[in-house]
Amino acid sequence: MLTAKQHALLSFIAARLEETGVSPSFEEMKAALDLRSKSGVHRLVEALVERGFLRRLPNRARALEVLRLPGDVGARPAGGRTATVTDIAEARARAAARAAPAVRALPFAGRIAAGRPIEAVEDRETLEVPADLLGAGEHYALQVVGDSMVEAGILDGDFALIRKCEEARPGDIVVALIDDTEATLKYFHREKGMIRLDPANAAYQPQFYLPSRVKIQGRLAGLLRRY
């Protein structure tokens, strides 16, 4: 049998793990149980460890794991439902998911030229990418075809992650739609009333277009390469 204080502490720890995936601090335990000192919390924790209800995780601060809940011990989380071993397993899974890198599924809009302009191929697929490669705003992905941007580190077969926008600053790497039919990935510049699209490969020449022929479809936000 557990004492009332041991029961209350185990309930509090199990509920906190289910809610946040992180065990409470000794200060939080002291406040929750209305104890006068942390030494009292320490004694309760040690008793639960010795009886096989808790386990200390090595080399980690504030790391307690609930190993089991006896039939007469109910850790009551928010909502008043009795926590079970299944609840604790699910809480651990949620904590692991929070620790895993976040991903975003971007619309995959097909291919784009990093050479001579080619027609963009529309697709309805998605591409999962690490969220930390992206900033705010709406994004989509295009697969690069050609070698005209190799000196910018953009290779044939790479996936360009594009932030949607309709404006660009000089020096931005942009998706430029030419005559509403052909898309290309280039550095954006303005020169003498024209739009100049520069490659990053000495083997290619800049491309000049009247502004009326060019629509900016987005700016390069990141790059994904598969090996």
pLDDT tens, 169-210? 999 999 999 998 888 999 999 999 999 999 999 999 999 999
For residue range 108-138, what is the model confidence (pLDDT) as tens digits? 887 887 765 544 545 558 888 888 778 888 8
186 given a catalytic annotation: yes
For residue range 148-178, what is the model confidence (pLDDT) as tens digits? 999 999 999 999 999 999 999 999 999 999 9
Q: Tell which of 35, 68, 99 closes a domain.
A: 99
Identify the CA nearest to 10 among candidates 93, 79, 70: 70
Q: What whole-number percentage of the chain has pLDDT above 70?
A: 79
Domain coverage including residue 48: 4-99
* Whether the Cβ atoms of residue 223 and residue 186 lie closer than 8 Å to each other: no
State how many domains the chain has.
2
194 in the same domain as 108: yes
149 in the same domain as 53: no
- The pLDDT assigned to 174 comes to 95
Q: Tell which of 99, 119, 153 closes a domain.
A: 99
91 in the same domain as 68: yes
118 in the same domain as 189: yes
Q: Tell which of 99, 131, 156 closes a domain.
A: 99
Q: Which of 11, 38, 148, 212 is flagged as catalytic?
A: 148
53 in the same domain as 17: yes
Residue 73 has pLDDT above 50, yes or no: no
121 in the same domain as 220: yes
Identify the CA nearest to 162 among candidates 172, 170, 171: 172
Gap between the Cα atoms of 92 and 218, Å rounded: 40
Q: Which of 186, 192, 212, 215 is flagged as catalytic?
A: 186
Instruction: Specify the CATH number for the domain of residue 38.
Output: 1.10.10.10
* Whether the Cβ atoms of residue 155 and residue 144 lie closer than 8 Å to each other: yes
Take residue 13 and report the two structure tokens written for it. 């720890």
38 given a catalytic annotation: no
218 in the same domain as 111: yes
152 in the same domain as 116: yes
* Whether the Cβ atoms of residue 132 and residue 102 lie closer than 8 Å to each other: yes
Flag whether the pTM goes above 0.85: no
Residue 74 has pLDDT above 50, yes or no: no
